[in-house]
Amino acid sequence: MAARVAELPAELKYIQYEHSLESQYLPAIRALISKDLSEPYSIYVYRYFLYQWGHLCFMALDPVDSSLIGVVICKLEHHASHSPPTRRGYIAMLAVAAPYRGHGVATVLVKKAIDAMAQKNADEVVLETEETNIPAMRLYERLGFLRSKKLHRYYLNGNSAYRLVLLLRHIDPDGHEDPNGAADLSLDDMDTAPR
Ligand SMILES: CC(C)(COP(=O)(O)OP(=O)(O)OC[C@H]1O[C@@H](n2cnc3c(N)ncnc32)[C@H](O)[C@@H]1OP(=O)(O)O)[C@@H](O)C(=O)NCCC(=O)NCCS
């Protein structure tokens, strides 16, 4: 395994995914994500997300050679069957190359994804993560995500997961926004400074 870098090389480039970047970055995105996640995804899963919600996908690139260092992939859907109807953002995949971990790269990526979902009027952002994934749990809980459910033996490897939720907007059962609720949450108020 490559050695962990003591400091990031320089200011990383953070860019939003777009279709014209597919041939340049999709192979690297697949390689980076499949390295650590317990679920193997086919290329169709990546395309499902990237074709529809590429604007909710962000990449961290090496400033020198533009190689991929980190990526977050999300979606945003309207759930009309929820009461009240909900616009739910979902963080599907997140990975940072092992040598670059622990410097806040994932925090920046997740924050950008949340900002993009909030701009598209998401009411909440949800995800699942393995209960043993301490770095991911720390990162998300530091950003304000709460544990909403424990999912026993959720993954193929038999590990359990937590569903985590970040409320961006408080909606009461009658469908009215609570002006004193989570709508006032500002990501800039949270401890998200890159290290
Ligand atoms: C989870 C992951 C994306 C985090 O990336 P990162 O760039 O290192 O994340 P950040 O530096 O922004 O934050 C990581 C947090 O975990 C902490 N952390 C890292 N390794 C840790 C460890 N072994 N034990 C405890 N805490 C740890 C960091 O200190 C930091 O928390 P802090 O800011 O409160 O100090 C990265 O570890 C990864 O790619 N893992 C494999 C894929 C994965 O698990 N994805 C998440 C699926 S939901």
Averaged pLDDT for residues 40-61: 96
Q: Which residue has the tokens 């544990």?
A: 147
Confirm or reject: Cβ of 104 under 6 Å from ligand 1.
Answer: yes
Our CA angle for 40, 45, 47, nearest 5°, is: 135
Looking at the DSSP bridge assignments, the partners of residue 94 are 72
pLDDT of residue 8: 83
Label residue 195 by pLDDT band (50, 70, 90). very low
Mutate which of 32, 38, 94 for ligand 1 pocket (most atoms within 8 A of beta carbon): 94
pLDDT(60) > 90: yes
**Cα(165)–Cα(117) distance, integer angstroms:** 13
| Per-residue model confidence as pLDDT tens digits over 162-190 | 999 999 987 665 655 554 444 333 333 33
Q: Looking at the predicted structure, is the pLDDT value of residue 39 above 70? A: no
Three-state secondary-structure class, residue 182: helix
Is pLDDT at 191 greater than 60 in this prediction?
Answer: no
The domains of the chain are located at: 13-189
How many angstroms separate the CA atoms of 3 and 86, rounded?
A: 43
**Which residue's CA is minimally distant from atom 23 of ligand 1?**
135
CB 149 within 8 A of CB 162: yes
Cα 104 to middle of ligand 1, angstroms: 8
Q: Is the CB of 96 under 6 A from ligand 1?
A: yes
Predicted confidence at residue 40, as pLDDT, reads: 75
Percent with pLDDT over 70 in the chain: 85
**Ligand 1 pocket check for 135: Cβ under 6 Å:** yes
Residue 72 Cβ contacting ligand 1 at under 6 Å? no
DSSP 8-state code for residue 148 = E
Judged by average pLDDT, the poorest of 35-44, 75-84, 135-144, 153-162 is: 35-44
pLDDT reported for residue 93: 95
Residue 38 is predicted with a pLDDT of 64
Express each pLDDT in 81-134 by its tens digit. Answer: 888 889 999 999 999 999 999 999 999 999 999 999 999 999 999 999 999 999
pLDDT for the residue 188: 36
Please identify, by atom number, the ligand 1 atom nearest to the C-alpha of residue 142. Answer: 34
The answer, yes or no, to whether any atom of ligand 1 lies below 6 A from the CB of 111, is: no
For residue 141 and ligand 1, the question of a CB distance below 6 A is answered with no
- Alpha-carbon distance of 60 to 134, in angstroms, equals 22
Which fold does the domain 13-189 belong to in CATH?
Aminopeptidase (3.40.630)
